[in-house]
């Protein structure tokens, strides 16, 4: 398997690893097929993500995608972060091997799980936002999920 320099850098030098003691919200997700677990803490002030930290138990790709996802959402509004996709994470890392694309899906899910908890707790869930959570974990580029690079196989 060939990894990009960015994947290797984020694996060897992860950004924003750890926990936020006074996190506004937290999302934890796992993939039973590969065993990866991601926990994402977000600190939100005036609807802006001012800090994001992760704890990941998994392979190098899982750590790299967690790290990159935090970099992509810090400073964004919660709605901007809600638009984060696994493809955006993978592209920001200059790609992932097809067999590791599920790691980028897990990173997206961890961010969105934290946001879903936040929106529900704060009474900010709207029908438009709810639609984005309804497709959580589903591949956005292949309706029948055949020939999908995001599969866990």
| pLDDT tens, position by position, 32-90 | 777 889 999 999 999 999 999 999 998 999 999 999 999 999 999 999 999 999 999 99
Q: 57, 74 in Cβ contact below 8 A?
A: no
Residue 39 CB-half CA count within 13 A: 10
Token couple for 99 = 């067999």
Catalytic residue among 34, 59, 139, 148: 34
Inter-CA distances, 122 with 54, 63, 92, 131, 151, Å: 22, 29, 31, 18, 33
Record the pTM.
0.86
The least confident of 79-93, 114-128, 129-143 is 129-143
Cβ neighbours for 99, distance < 8 A, ≥ 6 positions apart: 1
**CATH number of the structural domain 5-134:** 3.90.1010.10
Concerning whether 103 is annotated as a catalytic residue, the answer is yes
């Amino acid at each position: 398997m060939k990894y990009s320099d960015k994947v290797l850098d984020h694996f060897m030098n992860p950004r924003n690893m750890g926990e936020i003691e006074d996190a506004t919200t937290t999302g934890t997700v796992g993939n039973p097929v590969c065993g990866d677990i991601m926990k994402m803490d977000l600190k939100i002030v005036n609807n802006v993500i001012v800090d994001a930290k992760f704890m990941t138990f998994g392979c190098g790709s899982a750590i790299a995608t967690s790290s990159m996802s935090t970099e992509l959402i810090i400073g964004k509004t919660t709605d901007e972060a809600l638009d984060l996709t696994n493809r955006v994470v993978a592209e920001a890392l200059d790609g992932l091997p097809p067999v590791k694309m599920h790691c980028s899906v897990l990173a997206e899910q961890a961010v969105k799980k934290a946001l879903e908890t936040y929106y529900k707790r704060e009474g900010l869930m709207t029908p438009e936002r709810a639609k984005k959570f309804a497709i959580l974990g589903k591949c956005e580029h292949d309706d029948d999920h055949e020939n999908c690079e995001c599969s866990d196989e």
